Amino acid sequence: MNAEARQSGLTDQNNQGVRFYVRFSLWQRYLHAVVIVTFMGLGLTGLPLRFSGSVWGTAFARVVGGFSAILFFHKFCAVLLTVAFLMHLGDIAYRGLLKRQKGIFWGPNSMVPQLKDLKDLYGHVRWFLWLGPRPKFDRFAYWEKFDYWAVFWGMAIIGISGYSMWFAPFFAKFIPGSWFNIALVIHGEEALLAVWFIFAIHFFNTHLRPDSFPMDLVMFTGMETEKELRERRPQLYQRLLEEGKLGLTTVAPPRWLKNFGRAVGWVIILAGFVLLWLTLTSFFRASGT
Ligand code: HEM
């Protein structure tokens, strides 16, 4: 078993010569799992507050023990998500500033948008219209970077407005009271945007596009097969091959992990679609359209 496979917590299995590329470390997958669970928790508890007059909002509140119980769980999930967010920032600072891994801030392994992403976007639109070849994506495609930054700045806006409401008596010493009404509007609308974005665009980008339909398990297993890597990210494959850093392993992800990923993935996707439907209908009913 090679070091990367061991680090990602995988066990040996007979996989008939298929080779795998480790795309996400165990740490990255744990962090993503915390984000999935807490974001779902925040959506499930925040949206009944936002649509507290709706049938489903009041029914949910009755089951959970009232709106104050919902708010308690909302704050609990908020703290966990904040910790995960801060750990991610700490990890970037540690690797980028202390260990001086400059590749975090620029280059093909960075999440920072670059000229290639614009060219890929342009090339992709042309490919959609049968006007050109498919762009050769590298470590992160432009839409993956977009998803990442959407969550990043969304976290900042939702977090600042959320904490200012939570600790309103403290913040009221420094800012005018009208801010708290504005914070509630910003928090509620940005949350709605985040939920719609994740449950529609992110789910589609990740699982429902033809490349990965019906579900991409890479965030659970951490691995892609060599064939998937070559087809989905030809530039990354080529680059690693030329640099002699392909580091493929024959150790397959264990079956239990794939089944676990499928089960959790389906529950989350279905729950997301239900929430998407409930919030869309309530939103348009409230706005009279
Ligand atoms: C650090 C993160 C967060 C904190 C500290 C936080 C805190 C709060 C607080 C204190 C409230 C109650 C406001 C009030 O009525 O007094 C609230 C409401 C709400 N939260 Fe969050 N929240 C956070 C993240 C999120 C996220 C990620 C979502 C969406 C997935 C979300 C969705 C909502 C919604 C929809 C409401 C109801 C807004 C309304 O009534 O219009 N929150 N949040």
Secondary structure of 189-251 in the HEC alphabet? HHHHHHHHHHHHHHHHHHHHCCCCCCCCCHHHHCEEEHHHHHHHCHHHHHHHHHHCCCCCECC
Q: How many A from CA of 203 to the centre of ligand 1?
A: 22
The model's confidence at residue 208, banded by pLDDT at 50, 70 and 90, is confident
Query: Would you state the pLDDT for residue 212?
Result: 84
Protein residue with its CA nearest to atom 25 in ligand 1: 42
Query: Would you state the pLDDT for residue 214?
Result: 86
Both tokens of 34, joined, read 């915390």
Protein residue with its CA nearest to atom 38 in ligand 1: 188
Q: What is the mean pLDDT of the chain?
A: 92
Asked, for residue 8, whether it belongs to a domain, the answer is: yes
The model's confidence at residue 1, banded by pLDDT at 50, 70 and 90, is very low
- Protein residues whose CB sits closer than 6 Å to any atom of ligand 1: 39, 42-43, 46-47, 49-50, 71, 74, 78, 81-82, 158-159, 162-163, 165-166, 184, 187-188, 191, 194-195
Q: Is 118 helix (H, G, I), strand (E, B) or coil?
A: helix
Q: Which atom of ligand 1 is nearest to the CA of 47?
A: 35
Asked, for residue 185, whether it belongs to a domain, the answer is: no
CB 96 within 8 A of CB 104: yes
CB 205 within 8 A of CB 212: no
Protein residue with its CA nearest to atom 19 in ligand 1: 46
Protein residue with its CA nearest to atom 11 in ligand 1: 162
The model's confidence at residue 243, banded by pLDDT at 50, 70 and 90, is very high
Q: Which of 45, 68, 71, 158 to mutate to test the pocket of ligand 1 (most atoms within 8 A of CB)?
A: 158
Q: Is the pLDDT of residue 9 over 50?
A: no
Prediction pTM value: 0.89
Query: Would you state the pLDDT for residue 266?
Result: 94
Q: How many A from CA of 74 to the centre of ligand 1?
A: 7
Q: How many A from CA of 72 to the centre of ligand 1?
A: 11
CB 190 within 8 A of CB 157: yes
Q: Is 22 helix (H, G, I), strand (E, B) or coil?
A: strand
Q: How many A from CA of 215 to the centre of ligand 1?
A: 29
CA 128 to chain centre: 25
Q: What angle do CA 206, 151, 173 make, to 5 degrees?
A: 165
The model's confidence at residue 57, banded by pLDDT at 50, 70 and 90, is very high
CB 49 within 8 A of CB 71: yes
Q: Is the pLDDT of residue 102 over 90?
A: no
Asked, for residue 187, whether it belongs to a domain, the answer is: no
* Residue of 216, 207, 220, 217 whose CA lies nearest to 26: 220
The pLDDT of 8-22, averaged and rounded, is 67
Helices (H), the chain: 3-7, 26-50, 55-64, 67-93, 115-128, 142-166, 168-171, 178-196, 203, 218-221, 226-232, 234-243, 255-286
The pLDDT of 195-202, averaged and rounded, is 94
Asked, for residue 132, whether it belongs to a domain, the answer is: no
CA distance 85 to 235: 30
Query: Would you state the pLDDT for residue 263?
Result: 96
Q: Is the pLDDT of residue 3 over 80?
A: no
First-last CA distance in the chain: 59
Q: What digits encode the pLDDT tens for the residues 247-283? A: 899 999 999 999 999 999 999 999 999 999 999 999 9
The model's confidence at residue 17, banded by pLDDT at 50, 70 and 90, is confident
The model's confidence at residue 286, banded by pLDDT at 50, 70 and 90, is confident
Protein residue with its CA nearest to atom 30 in ligand 1: 43
Query: Would you state the pLDDT for residue 287?
Result: 73
Whole domain around residue 2: which residue ranges? 1-23+222-253
Asked, for residue 156, whether it belongs to a domain, the answer is: no
Q: Which of 74, 88, 181, 186 to mutate to test the pocket of ligand 1 (most atoms within 8 A of CB)?
A: 74
Q: Is the pLDDT of residue 13 over 80?
A: no
Query: Would you state the pLDDT for residue 15?
Result: 61
Q: How many A from CA of 162 to the centre of ligand 1?
A: 5
Give me the number of domains the chain comprises.
Answer: 1
Asked, for residue 3, whether it belongs to a domain, the answer is: yes
Asked, for residue 2, whether it belongs to a domain, the answer is: yes
Report the percent of the chain where pLDDT is more than 70. Answer: 94
Query: Would you state the pLDDT for residue 2?
Result: 45
Asked, for residue 12, whether it belongs to a domain, the answer is: yes
Query: Would you state the pLDDT for residue 201?
Result: 92
